[in-house]
Amino acid sequence: MKQYQLSTGEKKFIGSHLLVAILALAVGSLFGPLQAFEHAGWDFYPYLKPFIKSYYQGLTVHGVLNALVWTTFFIMGFLTFNVMFGLKRPLKNMTLNKVGFWLMVVGVVAAAIPILANQATVLFTFYPPLKANWAFYLGLTLVVVGSWVEGWGLFMTYIAWRKENPNERTPFIAFASIITALLWQICTLGIATEILTMLLPWSLGLIENVDPQLARTYFWFTGHPLVYFWLLPAYISWYAMLPEQAGKGKMFSDSLARLSFWIFLVLSTPLGFHHQYVDPGIPPAWKFLHSMLTFGVFFPSMMTAFTVVASLEHAGRKNGGKGALAWIGKLNWSDPSVAAQLLAGILFFFGGIGGLANASYNVNLVLHNTAFIPGHFHLTVATGVTLSFMGISYWLLPYLTGKKLWNPKVAVAQAWTWFVGMIIFSNSMHVLGLLGAPRRVPLGLAPYVPAEWNSRLFQVGVGGAILFLSGALYLTVMLMTALNKEKVAEEVTVPIAESMQDLSHTPEWLDRWAPWVYGTLALIVIVYGPQLFDMIKNIALTSPGFRVW
């Protein structure tokens, strides 16, 4: 059966997302290893002085480009692909989506200029009253607004499809992508409010002071669901593409996959206080409530773990795998897209366990802002998500360009080096955190570092070196594929794992939007409303800005 085909123009549009994403990753990832090397005592920052003034400026570049730009551009491109391919129709209004994309590009450039000029060394959390140049805040706003506009384009496309196909179940990849885009629209209201009501007018000199505690609260309204915005596209691939790639496996349970996406939508926003357990300005009762909801959002991840592993097992047994675990060896490990995503999933599992520790209210007292935290999110966003996206790009780039993937063996090696490097890096960061090492500190310069940290700091550097190699391999494979003269034999087949059950088994209530969306908004009002109202009522605009870098 012939698959639905995207037009050349549509492929180019998706491809431009991928291009910006990979450029951001290329620059941002240069600085990751530099930070790791600094920890090990090999500080290269003094040699970079003409361009990059400090460790902190490098850290800002790394955080903004990798965590915000690489992810957002890759995700918007991937979601757009999923909606078109899943619904088998073009976008309702391609111009609108293009406007969104270009707004995002302009935003990245606007934010990059002050960052590179050392006018916005505020890290990717930009907590006031650290005060960056206005262009930084404006740029971030444009990135968010651009992603909204692209999201609206996806919603319009879905609505048009629904009118044309009133009785059909929404195909899974389109369904899950629309939920991801919707989650993003809801949760970014926090950061938009923070920037538009405080930081942007403040940086422009229109208001003199801000309320840092309130700003943090707006920020974390967005900050946690942000991680689900990163994660859900990887889940889409793990659920509905990876089993097919790994050995023609099918999706074990379509209904529960959909249910888990709905639970993510409902629960991922109203729990942001779990990033603020040790903030002075929020009553413990609200923090505790958010901690319980954080445990709740772990549930759909557990469901995902089951369905994905069961679907992979189906693939492994189809490939002739036997035994309780031996089928794992029969998955298509030689396919770099499969290897990358399987390895990403394995490390993500450990990232999830560490996340439970962070979420555990008072346990967090031992972990808050220690090296445990970057150790944790390098397993989640920097591996579970990033290595999966790399894996996706190993089939997506050939699909979009019609060019053969350059040297799949190198690509497989890339996945494994990322896996090994990240284990070394992340494990030592976790241990350092438990020993009390703070995050965001050039520990090579810190006067309070005890000797017992040294062996772990060395391992951080070793992990960083392996990751640097892996990043270089990835960029080489991408570049050489883009330049490859060898075309793919025929059109690349998009890997889609069909559901094991007939779609008529998927109940209708899983395809109704209103109850879930209203439920999401209601829950946010209940668990955020009273405290946020109180903080806004008692707003204290008393903090002038500081440029202390």
361 is a catalytic site residue:
no
Which residue in the list 377, 389, 394, 468 is annotated as catalytic? 377
* Contact between 253 and another protein per CB under 8 A: yes
Q: State which of positions 87-126 bind another protein (CB under 8 A).
A: 123
Q: Is 446 in the site for another protein (CB under 8 A)?
A: yes
- Which of residues 314 and 330 has its CB atom nearest to another protein in the complex? 314
Whether 228 sits among the annotated catalytic residues: the reply is yes
Q: Would you count residue 529 as binding another protein (CB under 8 A)?
A: no
* Angle at 222 (CA atoms; ends 435, 392), nearest 5 degrees: 80
Active site residue 162: no
CB count within 10 Å of CB 165 equals 14
Instruction: Please indicate whether residue 440 is annotated as part of the active site.
Output: yes
> With CB under 8 A, what is the number of residues at the site for another protein?
76
**Residue in 9, 205, 280, 320 binding another protein, rule: CB under 8 A:** 280
Contact between 223 and another protein per CB under 8 A: no
Q: Does 129 bind another protein (CB under 8 A)?
A: yes
Residues pairing with 251 in the sheet: 499
Nearer to another protein, 41 or 544 (CB): 544
How far is it, in rounded angstroms, from Cα 36 to Cα 25? 17
Distance linking the first and last C-alpha atoms of the chain: 60
Q: Segment near another protein (CB under 8 A), from 102-110, 146-154, 211-219, 234-242?
A: 211-219
Q: Active site includes 425?
A: no
Give me the residues paired with residue 403 across strands: 487
Residue 438 binding another protein, by CB under 8 A:
yes
Of 76, 75, 90, nearest in space to 8 by CA: 90
Q: Is 434 in the site for another protein (CB under 8 A)?
A: no
Catalytic residue check, 172 = no
DSSP letter string, 279-319 = -TTS-HHHHHHHHHHHHHHHHHHHHHHHHHHHHHHHHHHHT
Distance CA 267, CA 300 (A): 10
Rounded Cα gap, residues 219 and 279, in angstroms: 13
Which residue is catalytic, options 258, 314, 439, 456? 439
- State which of residues 44, 51, 448, 533 lies at the interface with another protein (CB under 8 A): 448
Q: Which of residues 364-403 bind another protein (CB under 8 A)?
A: 364-366, 368-370
- Measured CA to CA in angstroms, residue 36 lies from 20, 33, 372, 416 at distances of 25, 5, 14, 19
Binding mask 17-56 for another protein (x = CB under 8 A): -------------------------------------x-x
Q: Does 326 bind another protein (CB under 8 A)?
A: no
Q: Which of 90, 281, 402, 408 binds another protein (CB under 8 A)?
A: 281
- Largest alpha-carbon pair distance within the chain? 68
Q: Which of 39, 224, 290, 456 is catalytic?
A: 224
Check residue 306 for interaction with another protein (CB under 8 A).
Answer: yes
Name the residue nearer to another protein (CB basis): 307 or 428: 307
Task: For residues 188 and 352, give the distance between their C-alpha atoms in angstroms, rounded to a whole number.
Answer: 23
Q: Which is nearer to another protein, 402 or 545 (CB)?
A: 545
**Side chain identity at 281, as an amino acid letter?**
G
Angle at alpha carbon of residue 418, lines to 479 and 444, rounded to 5°: 110
Q: Is 197 in the site for another protein (CB under 8 A)?
A: no
Query: Which of 362, 454, 455, 493 forms a contact with another protein (CB under 8 A)?
Result: 362
Distance of CA 176 to the CA centre of its chain: 15
| Residue 167 sits in the site that holds another protein (CB under 8 A) | yes
211 belongs to the binding site for another protein (CB under 8 A): yes
The H-or-E segment that residue 458 falls in is helix 454-483
Question: Is 165 one of the binding residues for another protein (CB under 8 A)?
Answer: no
List phi, psi (to 5°) of 546.
-135, 140
Given CA atoms 470, 60, 69, 275 in this order, what sign does their dihedral have?
Answer: positive
CA distance 411 to 470: 9
Q: In terms of C-beta density within 10 A (0-12 exposed, 13-18 middle, 19 or more buried), how is residue 302 classed?
A: exposed
The dihedral of CA 158, 163, 165, 168: what is its sign? positive
Q: Which of 314, 368, 376, 456 is catalytic?
A: 376
Nearer to another protein, 387 or 457 (CB): 457
Q: Is residue 255 close enough to count as binding another protein by CB under 8 A?
A: yes
Is position 372 annotated as part of the catalytic site?
A: no
Catalytic positions, written as ranges = 224, 228, 376-378, 439-440
